[in-house]
Structure 1
Amino acid sequence: MAKKRTKRKPIIKKKVRKQSFSMTKADFLPLLAILGITALLFFRAQGYEFVNWDDDFNISKNPNLRNLDWANIKGIFSTHVIGNYNPLATLSFAIENHFFGLNPKAFHTTNILLHLICTFLAYRFMRVLEIPVLGAVAVALLFGIHPMKVESVAWVTERKDVLYSAFYLGALINYVKWYKSKFKSKYMVFVVVLFLLSLFSKIQAVALPLSMMALDYFWKRPIDKRWLIEKGGLLLMSFVIGLVGIYFLRQQGSLDSTSNYTFIERILVGMYSYSVYIVKFFVPFRISPLYPYPASLPLMVYASPAVFLGVLALAWISFKRNWRPLLFGIAFFTVNIMFVLQVVGAGQAFLADRFVYMPYLGLSFPLVYYAMELAKRSKKLSRIVVGAGAVWMIALMVLTWNHVPLWKDSGSLWTHVLKYYQHAALPYRNRAQYFRDNQQYDLALADYARSIAIEADADVVNSRARLYFDRQQWPEAMKEYNYAIELDATVAEYWINRGAVHAMQGNYQAALSDMTAGIEADPDFINGYKNRSLVYQALGQMPPAQNDLQSYLSRNPYDATIWYESGRLFRIQKQPQNALPALTRAVDLDRTSGRYLLERARVNVTLGNKQAARSDLARAEALGATIDAKTRQAVQ
């Protein structure tokens, strides 16, 4: 007589509407272990530097970070940073800069803490889905330790990844609670608020309503009027932020980066990227911060439709056979990765590790779900599943441990990229900049030469010219600036810089001519006004020098040094009534400079404000300023 088969219990309970969402004692120890392991893998990044790959534009050169006031906050929410609209990430940088200055440790520490928060939320997401503790541990551990996550954590610029994901996961958790609590409105309020915060952190968050639809399929939720209103509102939010993001990307020119490919080739690039991301989830090979577009598409790109169609076939089979966990995972991964597949160019590369930070949760879920189902069949299978999973995760941890130090500084970063991509100009250019900043001039010149040999880029030529300028090699600098202008005469900086070479050689009229040409090319290139003012001063032409300083300050009112220079020029021109407010503004912006106070003391003496002058002089001396005898005598 045939043995009666026993039906295995499903991993996810049939009862789906559970009111209690609290953590239990069984959650704390596993969570502590997950977060401890993840922190151990990433803690070294606290001591790393900023890198010369967008960290400068996002942080050190970002004018909206200079002061934490309403004017700058408005600027953060109304502008982009090199085509990216992620104002909340930028606001977080502004807050850090306000309290810690440009200390990389503070910025790196925040990224690590946010990654730990996301790892915790990944665990909570699994638990509110009623995945058992062991399954939630496996999914969350994969989220925390996977080497493809390193870029999002160790690169300060990618604050937007860990920040949007924290809000994104929070929104998903509250969406589950909303459904299971029989649609309590407070949870939907949390969903909307967290979704909005996620959208303002990174445009990739537009996929959230689609992720929720994948959950609805998983739960067998019917499509009704409530569903249509709810998803319609969320999709409208995605649409609006998506349009804003596309506008800024187009304004920056980022959408044109694959314009040399045909439409079919772009589709192939998208399929290839999709396939590679899946493969790298299981076997993270050749991890690189940059995957530059090749001159011609490799054979694997043309073979990628086979993998892509294979995934589609698996999704169709899952749908027909009601394999909901598998189809949910495929759908979650797909909807979260599809907007960044570079079918329409939006960057310098056709792949980017940072893009998988959230999507990989979709691959982890069905893998862990079916591994646990398999392990329940027999003790032997259970040992095999646990053993294989442990070996794989240990291998991932080793890869992550080895990959984190690549982000120590720009030198290690670009040296690693060049292990795989010697044909690309960008790694040589950026490593040359690192060498130049560290006074390794011969190494910098060698890398500049390699970069220019690959691609005659005017900006790289300008950088090489600046190296010669810093070394006071005027003929070499002049030759390079001539070449940069020959390559692109529309860039103001090249004209201004060549004018500076003329000025250093005493050719002030030639300097004025070049700097004026630069300002005409771009009236908002503010360094042009500052440099031309110095030339006018050298020629003894103080009124136009002062006019240039005012033009500079009208565009950047937060530069204490230029307010000081403006006040000093007003004093020289015997306009103390104009000098005083300018110097007061300089002092307000930088209270650590003794020379600003000393200059204001001189103006106060001229205006007869001796008591104020004595106060300024005392503060200036306390800050280390050297007080000349004439000024000291004048305040007596």
Structure 2
Amino acid sequence: MTVRAQVLFLIFACLAVFYPSFSAEICAVDDAQLFTSLEHRSYSNPLDTFVRKGKSTLYYRPILGVTFWVDKNVFQINPFWMHLENVLFHLISILLLFYIARLLFTVNKKQPNYFPLFTALLWGLHPLTTESVNWVSGRTDLLAGMFIFGATLLILHYRQSQRKTYLLFAAIASLLAMLSKEVAVAFIPGAILILFAIPATIQSNSKSSNNRLFILFATLATTIPLALFFIIRTGGTISNSSRIGLTLQYMDINLVHSLMLFCRALGFYIKKIFFPWPLNFAILEVDPLYDLLAIPIVILCIWLLWNRSLLAAFFLTGIILLTPSFLIVLNQIAWTPFAERYVYISMAFILLSTIGIFARNPSRKNQSIYSPLMVILLIAFSYSTYQRGLIWHSNLKILEDTSIKSPYSKKIHWVYGAALSKKGDHEKALEVTKMACSLQSPPLMKDYTAERNLGFIYFNLARYNDALDTFKQISVKSDYKYAPALDGLLITYSQLARETNNQDEREGYYKEAGKSGTLLYKIKKDPFIWYNLGKLSLELQKTQQAKEYFTMAYEAFADDSPYKTYAKKLSRK
């Protein structure tokens, strides 16, 4: 089987297994907000994604923003094209991994060796990749992985040829990876390990000056991208480190417990790489016994660091790329402390090093033994990944599956309830959302989303008094600073004012709607609050109050807004 035939087979296998993703729904978790944000966001050019100085954010991912600029301006935010992009980014990474494996495993080019093909297929069709590929919001992993694998391939070429150009492009690829997802910073020490791994890249008869030059270029290639990343990030945005602060605060409260969680995460993720089942979108906790599995892994890493072989460097790089996910297990940064997508990049390096042990002597006899095992494993992984893609195809399927496997996930339950409500199943949505409200939010974090959703489900069921009670409770807890709760109060009071036949009750509801609108405007500065209160006043035949509200709306609307003209006309009636 020629190299070209193997490449074509990789392309076919990837597209066939991930085919369900092309027509998948917009995921209700994060993707729905992403699509809404893209609809309202205006980019004059893709470079705007690099400079967001007026905004405070924990994440700085301008390369991701460039792809979304393309989605908005070229593909018109079409879910099909956005899912296809994810699959294509993943496919590029599969091909890069294939060529990395060829450099690592091919000793005799005349002798057929299918370990590179097997490695690329095993990683590319691994069930743990489905989350990143099927979830548009998981594109950060795909982009960072693509650039990291590209940098790795260039570093291996540099080790063989000593051409400085390879190292230069590897540095650029590393920088692009960091601008795609911050965890790519962890690749820098891995790159150093790969560069300095034994056997040395410098020929045995090289002069010491060449060795010094090698060290110089290697140091520059790894430190300059890191420095540039922090310079660009500092100049492009205002950092919001509140969640990082909460994480450090949590660690300070119980350092020993935090270290145990880090060990648990290490053991759990290594197990998931080699035995990925069961698959779950939201993993809140794992068995404490994984703490014990971390012990031999740490001992192995120490030995590999001493060994300094190239395969050892790849395994250690995979472990290092896992370390950023250890902070997330403290449950202060992301909505789920453990996730399959966190191993997307590191898994490739760990699989390369593990399979490399068997690929050292690719004799016909060994391949005849390994080939049936390879085929069985690939069939099992491919089938599992395809079936998982079918579950990801539908919001209700993935949310129901996750709510069953993670019954204590507050976010999954309220998102599932919102999806049910959107489909018109308000009664079941009410049941699921009540369950979400009974669950605890992560420590040190306040989240009223579940309670807000419960209020709006009550509203959809015309249970207005229950809706009012819910929105009032949230408002009191948030010191009347949570805009969605105030919005709920305004909508509910307005609806009650329209429907009641009691004049005194109507007056009371109308006044409360005005109070809620005033508090809401202080937070949102949205002129439509005054505009809608003006419309309510007209419906209730309160002409003078309507004029006042429309006048305030007119003054608040931007000059280029067509509603400014409407508000002006209505204020003069």
Q: TM-score range by the shorter chain?
A: 0.7 to 0.9
Which residue pairs with 1:73 in the alignment? 48
1:359-391 Cα deviation digits (max 9, x unpaired): 011111122211123653x82x44332222222
**Structure 1 length-normalised TM:** 0.75
Matches within 5 A, 1:456-535: 458-488=448-478, 489-506=480-497, 507-520=509-522, 522-523=523-524, 528=529, 531-532=532-533, 534-535=535-536
Distance 2:531 2:571 in 1: 18
Distance 2:85 2:242 in 1: 30
Which residue pairs with 1:404 in the alignment? 389
Distance 1:383 1:567, change over 3 A: same
Distance 1:328 1:88 in 2: 28
Q: Aligned letter for 1:45? A: S
Q: Aligned letter for 1:107? A: M
Distance 1:271 1:402, change over 3 A: same
Equivalent of residue 347 in structure 1, options 305, 316, 334: 334
Distance 1:567 1:180, change over 3 A: farther
Which residue pairs with 2:553 in the alignment? 548
Task: State the secondary structure of the residue aligned to 1:359.
Answer: helix
Alignment of 1:415 with 2:413, yes or no, is no
Matches within 5 A, 1:323-402: 324-342=309-327, 345-373=332-360, 376=363, 379=365, 381-402=366-387
Alignment of 1:428 with 2:413, yes or no, is yes
Distance 1:263 1:526 in 2: 49
Alignment of 1:161 with 2:141, yes or no, is yes
Equivalent of residue 85 in structure 1, options 20, 44, 60: 60
Which residue pairs with 2:73 in the alignment? 98
Which residue pairs with 1:286 in the alignment? 278
Distance 1:552 1:117, change over 3 A: farther
Distance 2:510 2:47 in 1: 37
Cα shift at 1:550: 5.4
Cα shift at 1:250: 2.2
Q: Aligned letter for 2:102? A: R
Which residue pairs with 1:48 in the alignment? 24
Distance 1:273 1:289, change over 3 A: same
CA contact (8 A) 2:52 2:236 kept: no
Which residue pairs with 1:570 in the alignment? 568
CA contact (8 A) 2:151 2:170 kept: yes
1:243-265 Cα deviation digits (max 9, x unpaired): 79997452467844993872211
Distance 1:505 1:533, change over 3 A: same
Matches within 5 A, 1:190-269: 190-218=169-197, 219-221=199-201, 224-240=215-231, 248=239, 250-251=241-242, 255-256=246-247, 259=250, 262-269=254-261
Which residue pairs with 1:587 in the alignment? none
Cα shift at 1:393: 2.1
Cα shift at 1:161: 1.3
Task: State the secondary structure of the residue aligned to 2:337.
Answer: strand
Distance 1:452 1:442 in 2: 15
CA contact (8 A) 1:268 1:304 kept: no
Distance 1:286 1:247, change over 3 A: farther
Q: Which runs of 4+ in 1 moved over 6 A?
A: 79-82, 241-247
Distance 1:424 1:220, change over 3 A: same
Give structure 1 stretches of 5+ with no counterpart. 1-24, 558-562, 576-636
Cα shift at 1:54: 0.8
Distance 1:406 1:83 in 2: 31
CA contact (8 A) 1:68 1:95 kept: no
Give structure 2 stretches of 5+ with no counterpart. 108-112, 202-210, 442-446, 498-508
Distance 1:74 1:165, change over 3 A: closer
Q: State, as a whole percentage, how many aligned pairs show the same letter.
A: 16
Return 340-349 or 409-418, whichever deviates more.
Answer: 340-349
Distance 1:174 1:375 in 2: 24
Distance 2:268 2:527 in 1: 44
Larger radius of gyration: 1
Which residue pairs with 2:37 in the alignment? 61
Cα shift at 1:204: 1.7
**Structure 2 length-normalised TM:** 0.83
CA contact (8 A) 2:194 2:314 kept: no
Q: Aligned letter for 2:323? A: M
Cα shift at 1:502: 1.7
